[in-house]
Structure 1
């Protein structure tokens, strides 16, 4: 293959070297940032046998060439453009400059939540497996599997514990990922998440009942009372708190002497962020997350399948534009609320009805 000819053809179809802002490659694709994508001769690229496909996403224009071919084409491509070889991260940074504020916000959510999706998927599938073992009448008439085979009850209990873990400690996962995305220390983000689900705090699942009974524990600091409530399964509180943590950490690192940086910066960062989280950030964002979830539930309960149809009709265009990543925070909050209700199911018909409605909501929403 004459890689120089292929590279020249691709470059000409892309509008010439004047239209190339940045270029890198991965295992199969050229990753390019163009000044003006309207100058791309898409028909010419489609007619090239060596080009297996093209697409534009996140400010990057990508040309699929295949493993092995892309390395050689990229080497010739950089010679023709007169540019130095760049890493994928450098190209991503250049691509981010082209995104508008809404696209940057969507990409931020994507960068935070996509890495933790496997943990959520694992928990959800284990939850489903537990339901198969404990659902009455699913495989055996008027009985669940564990009722018919009591020896499997501990297996179901173990699976349920495994399923709970990603949702119970969700703030730790989000704290780690978000701190990394916001430019802070990822382990400080994880420590903040641990602080928000510490066992000394009132479990977040029991917050509603404790609030109704007036039994919420509090710290009393010089007459100022702070609720000792955990944030198990929440999303918005840890997102906001981690953003504050990352900025406080960066602020302190610029001002604390190097000799004291490793001691004082983590100490002050965790302490200041922790106080702000339990006094202002947590309570406000907890209420905001509940309103967000209640709004989607209201749409389902008020307009039924029409609301589900509206969400379903809009979801595909959102996926095409990349906007669907902004729903991940909402979906994770809904999953956490569903987990909360499942944990409190009892023989009361009303609670079962709430659980069934949540399942129907997810059917429509998906």
Structure 2
């Protein structure tokens, strides 16, 4: 087995242009990630013909080779040895890959670097909130009552689950602050403090801002005649993102200029004080308004022409994944959740993932290649559980027509759930388990949307595949 891994590593290095073409390499759970000097030297056909390779694609300046969980770390060790590059951290490879990105790609990649590390906490919170919804939602198992209404002993259990689930969303600025400041080169600890500062209990809770404004009861600070609203930013993304960037820049600036003997007394206090003041007086109010404007744009589109909004987002989500721009919509999801209590975009994401898995499974019936059959089955199941890369890059994009069939299924499903106003109060696992994160009252139309995302891509892929054979 060791010899086979070595042989596979040698073939992979050769296929990506040889060791001289590799600037850096690392791996994740399933994929080898290469930062290459010239991606035009990659021989994709040679890669695809290897049994160990489940697919390959280029994204965010990295050329990625899908190997599979467990085996990838063994192959990577041999790849590093064969290429003579030594093992590299993900940060090393990302830094090398950024040289190949344009400004827009770098901005998108920055958002991805910030949100991806905190996704496990948010997805977990979404699933737990789904369990709470099942226990507290009326009309799911009983006519007008919830489980906790009928079985009182479950009430406190549901309350504890809700507290655990809500923590990640209540203190979301703290999570984003940690990740963003770390990404921008500052101290993650200061990022956490900054984020928690924006949701301090002394501030008016953002969830009650609209009601307090209507009642004319918004508390303010009087800064020498300048009245600043004393408002928190629970669930908000833009204030903490911009504040984190400013904090990191100030900290780096001071660290380069303050003597080591007084850094502890100067750098952190000055950085937090300046950033905090600007966050509450300038950054917060401006970005709060900007966030509301973004929310207004999306809600207007989906309220006025829901079918068109659902169709476009359903059709384009998978292509957005290819470019990496889908990460930018996480911020929109969080903004919608903070502003209107839920997101109508994330349920469409779940349908898109299911559709990609359905198209991949259909290819299992069309192909006679045993390797493609096995990859179709495993990647289809993976997509149903929210991980679409193996299905998209290993099967659907390779043959193209399954990818378009999946886009069609996601678009039609998106139309149906959008006109039925399906909402998710949180994000969760973007596949078949996604219904846990949907408002229980909308499970019915969401299940219909899931059926559309399963059936339409599967049937279309079979039809298109058979038509191609007849040509």
Identify the TM-score tier after normalising by the shorter chain. Answer: 0.7 to 0.9
TM-score by length of 1: 0.85
Could you tell me which residue of structure 2 aligns to residue 132 of structure 1? Answer: 134
The equivalences for 1:247-258 within 5 A come to: 247-258=249-260
Q: Does 1:320 align with 2:384?
A: no
Say if 1:154 and 1:50 are closer, same or farther in 2 by CA, change over 3 A. Answer: closer
Q: What's the secondary structure of 1:142's corresponding residue?
A: coil
| C-alpha displacement of 1:118 | 2.2
Q: Does 1:71 align with 2:77?
A: yes
* Preserved contact between residue 26 and residue 76 of structure 2 (Cα < 8 Å): no
> Over aligned residue pairs, what C-alpha RMSD do you find?
2.8
Could you tell me which residue of structure 2 aligns to residue 224 of structure 1? Answer: 226
Say if 1:3 and 1:118 are closer, same or farther in 2 by CA, change over 3 A. Answer: closer
Could you tell me which residue of structure 2 aligns to residue 306 of structure 1? Answer: 308
Partners in 1 of 2:135 and 2:5 — Cα distance? 58
Give the greater-gyration-radius structure (CA). Answer: 1
Could you tell me which residue of structure 2 aligns to residue 42 of structure 1? Answer: 44
Q: How far does the alpha carbon of each residue in 1:29-78 deviate from its partner, in whole angstroms, 9 at most, with x for none?
A: 65322222122222223334555543323212234564434423431222
Q: How far does the alpha carbon of each residue in 1:3-36 deviate from its partner, in whole angstroms, 9 at most, with x for none?
A: 8876665444333455333345668765322222
Partners in 2 of 1:240 and 1:54 — Cα distance? 35
Partners in 2 of 1:152 and 1:88 — Cα distance? 44
Select which of 102, 125, 128 maps to 2:104: 102
Say if 1:84 and 1:127 are closer, same or farther in 2 by CA, change over 3 A. Answer: closer
* Preserved contact between residue 28 and residue 70 of structure 1 (Cα < 8 Å): no
Partners in 1 of 2:235 and 2:273 — Cα distance? 22
Partners in 2 of 1:8 and 1:122 — Cα distance? 39
Say if 1:277 and 1:318 are closer, same or farther in 2 by CA, change over 3 A. Answer: same
Worse-superposed segment, 117-126 or 96-105: 117-126
Say if 1:157 and 1:42 are closer, same or farther in 2 by CA, change over 3 A. Answer: closer
* Preserved contact between residue 8 and residue 75 of structure 2 (Cα < 8 Å): no
Q: Where does the alignment leave 5 or more consecutive residues of structure 2 unmatched?
A: 344-419, 426-437, 439-445, 454-471
Partners in 1 of 2:126 and 2:28 — Cα distance? 32
Q: Where does the alignment leave 5 or more consecutive residues of structure 1 unmatched?
A: 342-355
Worse-superposed segment, 19-28 or 108-117: 19-28
The equivalences for 1:202-221 within 5 A come to: 202-221=204-223
Q: What's the secondary structure of 1:56's corresponding residue?
A: strand
Worse-superposed segment, 3-12 or 308-317: 3-12
* Preserved contact between residue 199 and residue 234 of structure 2 (Cα < 8 Å): yes
Q: What's the secondary structure of 1:252's corresponding residue?
A: helix
Q: Does 1:241 align with 2:243?
A: yes
TM-score by length of 2: 0.67
Q: What's the secondary structure of 1:97's corresponding residue?
A: helix
Partners in 1 of 2:424 and 2:65 — Cα distance? 41
Equivalent pairs counted in the alignment come to 347
Could you tell me which residue of structure 2 aligns to residue 180 of structure 1? Answer: 182
Partners in 2 of 1:189 and 1:170 — Cα distance? 12
Could you tell me which residue of structure 2 aligns to residue 288 of structure 1? Answer: 290
Could you tell me which residue of structure 1 aligns to residue 268 of structure 2? Answer: 266
Say if 1:203 and 1:73 are closer, same or farther in 2 by CA, change over 3 A. Answer: closer
Could you tell me which residue of structure 1 aligns to residue 386 of structure 2? Answer: none
Partners in 1 of 2:148 and 2:52 — Cα distance? 58
Partners in 1 of 2:291 and 2:28 — Cα distance? 38
